[in-house]
């Protein structure tokens, strides 16, 4: 591979120089400081391009009499090292002190830019996880579940402005305790309708209103205690088994959350309907919300004790979408694009800064090198996403030939972030987006400089993601598709100022293995992260970034790291003794 690259470079330079011969050079050309083997560099005296093919004996390429600055600028730039993925690295353990136990590890991390050392970051995450801006990942249901654990979801933007804003509003209303009812039926509907509705959205409390909407005149409610499927005809009208309004404890509109919780506790209720003066349904307040807050001390809340949520925007309709999302209560926005080093993102950031100043927080990306990061930092991004083509459903590298190994991209951008901080005093967090296959990759990404991680496939596997759970060859799976697939057709994400349709696919439609509830899986993954940090002798993410020691591993070493030279026991395997 290296020889082939060398021959291609040599051939190009041969033609550039007018067909001159090459010459092997002595040590004077092989002792250039800072030039790694395999690189092409320009030697000033005598002027020549040199290929460092072996120490002390480099190859001069091109006739120096024909080399000019113009000809030099016509050459492509070649990186001397291949780009690497997370699987090619391991962490080397450090000293573990008595204080280095998982219970003492803090995963708190900044979400947006701030003057580190001079002020507190205005928005922090309790855990370094955000969900990807994807139809098959981030809706309001997953946003609530993730915020409960201390992370943040970015509601997908490849939908109408109205529907995205409505999802944001539902998340903000949810933790406020006043939940708009999304399970509503009329009294003339049947038990089977209740069962169907519960199967569809998982909610057991149904508001019965005169028009079957969440704002109609409240007539009663139905919970799982009001019916027994085994003893009732599915065709039984709801009015015959619902708890009617006259037997309900309700509260008037304007009741505070504390007052509502007091009523719930005093009357031993599971839910409290809030109704208007005209008797119309407004909200539910649930006992479980209060209990969940007590059992989730790290949940991500805003100043009004509401769950925090992000939202995706694009570089086309931002002038209409951004105001609607801000009005709906979005805590932070993110430009959703496959490649962020563009005038389109610069224009979008300029609009937001001109209209809102620094009051609206917005991330940008994606980039894979120093130049891309510095461009977005200077354009006004509050955080920068890193990664092109590394997602499990992304085929950008295959279709367009652009991208970079995620580990290499992250390492370079992290260095650029630290450089920008030294120069300006402003710390801009970076988000590693893509390339996470195993849980230990999360720790590697954090050690390489990521402040938090954007995950798609990981969250798509859970109950709370918006896709269907299906059986494939006897195994439960969840549907998962890329924004660049024909199914999503999110052309705005891949827009380069051209038409208004997806010209070709940059993503696939697929399945991922169903994994159950988000809470259990996130807890398990983060315990692994905390355990590894303790092995490295650190208890915070900044300490991990400052003190981690990483090593590249060979292909043989990767094989050695898994199980080998054994026969695994499987279900149904039988062994005979003797």
Which residues are annotated as catalytic?
Answer: 394, 493
Q: Which of 480, 483, 523 is nearest to 502 (CA)?
A: 483
Q: Which residues pair with 364 in a beta bridge?
A: 384
The residue whose two tokens read 């402040």 is 451
The residue whose two tokens read 């005209």 is 278
Dist CA 157 CA 325 (whole Å): 10
* Element housing 420 (H / E): helix 406-424
- Quick check: helix, strand or coil at residue 432? strand
**DSSP character for 187?**
T
* Element housing 512 (H / E): strand 509-513
Task: Name every residue whose Cβ is closer than 8 Å to that of residue 192 and which is 6 or more positions away in sequence.
Answer: 234, 235
**DSSP character for 363?**
E
Dist CA 172 CA 322 (whole Å): 17
Task: Name every residue whose Cβ is closer than 8 Å to that of residue 296 and which is 6 or more positions away in sequence.
Answer: 148, 149, 150
* Element housing 5 (H / E): helix 2-16
Structural tokens at position 264: 């719930």
Task: Name every residue whose Cβ is closer than 8 Å to that of residue 430 and which is 6 or more positions away in sequence.
Answer: 373, 383, 384, 385, 386, 410, 413, 414, 417, 449, 450, 451
Dist CA 141 CA 139 (whole Å): 6
Structural tokens at position 567: 């026969």
Kindly calculate the radius of gyration of the chain based on its CA atoms and give it in whole angstroms: 29
The residue whose two tokens read 């007539």 is 219
Q: Which of 483, 477, 539 is nearest to 508 (CA)?
A: 483
Cβ contact 299:148 at 8 Å: yes
């Amino acid at each position: 591979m290296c020889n082939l690259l060398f021959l291609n470079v040599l051939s190009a330079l041969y033609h550039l120089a007018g067909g001159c011969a090459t010459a092997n050079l002595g040590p004077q050309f092989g002792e250039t400081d800072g030039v790694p083997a395999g690189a092409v560099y320009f030697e000033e005296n005598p002027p020549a391009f040199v290929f460092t093919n072996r120490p002390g004996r480099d190859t001069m390429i091109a006739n120096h009499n024909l080399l000019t600055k113009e000809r030099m600028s016509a050459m492509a730039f070649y990186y001397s090292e291949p780009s690497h993925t997370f699987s090619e690295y391991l962490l080397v353990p450090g000293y573990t002190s008595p204080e280095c136990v998982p219970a003492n590890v803090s995963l708190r991390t900044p979400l947006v830019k701030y003057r580190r050392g001079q002020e507190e970051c205005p928005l922090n995450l309790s855990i370094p996880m955000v969900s990807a801006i994807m139809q098959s990942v981030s809706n309001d249901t997953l946003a609530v579940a993730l915020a409960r654990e201390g992370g943040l979801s970015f509601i997908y933007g490849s939908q109408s402005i109205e529907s995205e804003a409505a999802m944001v509003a539902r998340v903000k209303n949810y933790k406020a305790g006043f939940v708009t009812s999304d399970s509503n039926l009329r009294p003339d509907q049947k038990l089977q309708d209740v069962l169907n509705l519960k199967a569809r959205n998982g909610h057991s409390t149904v508001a019965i209103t005169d028009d079957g909407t969440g704002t109609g005149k409240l007539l009663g409610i139905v919970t799982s205690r009001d019916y027994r499927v085994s003893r009732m005809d599915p065709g039984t009208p709801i009015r015959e088994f619902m708890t009617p309004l006259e037997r309900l404890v309700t509260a008037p509109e304007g009741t505070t959350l504390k007052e509502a919780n007091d009523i719930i506790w005093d009357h031993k209720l599971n839910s409290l309907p809030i109704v208007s003066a005209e008797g119309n349904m407004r909200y539910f307040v649930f006992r479980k919300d209060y209990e969940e807050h007590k059992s989730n001390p790290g949940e991500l809340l805003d100043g009004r004790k509401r769950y925090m949520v992000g939202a995706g925007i694009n570089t086309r309709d931002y002038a209409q979408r951004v105001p609607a999302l801000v009005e709906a209560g979005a805590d932070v926005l993110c430009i959703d694009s496959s490649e962020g080093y563009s005038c389109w993102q610069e224009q979008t950031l300029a609009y937001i800064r001109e209209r809102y100043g620094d009051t609206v927080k917005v991330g940008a990306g994606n980039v894979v090198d120093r130049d891309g990061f510095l461009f977005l930092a200077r354009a006004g991004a509050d955080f920068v996403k890193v990664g092109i083509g590394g997602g499990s459903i992304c085929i950008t590298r295959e279709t367009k030939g652009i991208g970079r190994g995620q580990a290499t991209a992250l390492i370079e951008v992290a260095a650029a972030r630290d450089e920008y901080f030294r120069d300006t005093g402003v710390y801009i967090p970076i988000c590693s987006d893509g390339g996470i296959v195993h849980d230990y990759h999360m720790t590697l990404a954090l050690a390489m400089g990521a402040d938090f991680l954007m995950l798609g496939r990981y969250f798509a596997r859970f109950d709370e993601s918006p896709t269907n759970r299906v059986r494939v060859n006897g195994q439960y799976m969840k549907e998962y598709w890329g924004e660049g697939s024909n199914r999503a057709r999110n052309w705005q994400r891949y827009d380069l100022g051209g038409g208004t349709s997806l010209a070709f696919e940059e993503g696939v439609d697929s399945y991922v293995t169903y994994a159950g509830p988000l809470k259990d899986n996130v807890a398990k993954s983060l315990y692994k992260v905390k355990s590894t940090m303790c092995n490295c002798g650190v208890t915070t993410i900044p300490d991990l970034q400052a003190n981690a020691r990483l090593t590249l591993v060979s292909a043989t070493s990767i094989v050695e790291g898994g199980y080998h030279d054994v026969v695994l026991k499987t279900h149904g395997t039988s062994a005979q003794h003797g």
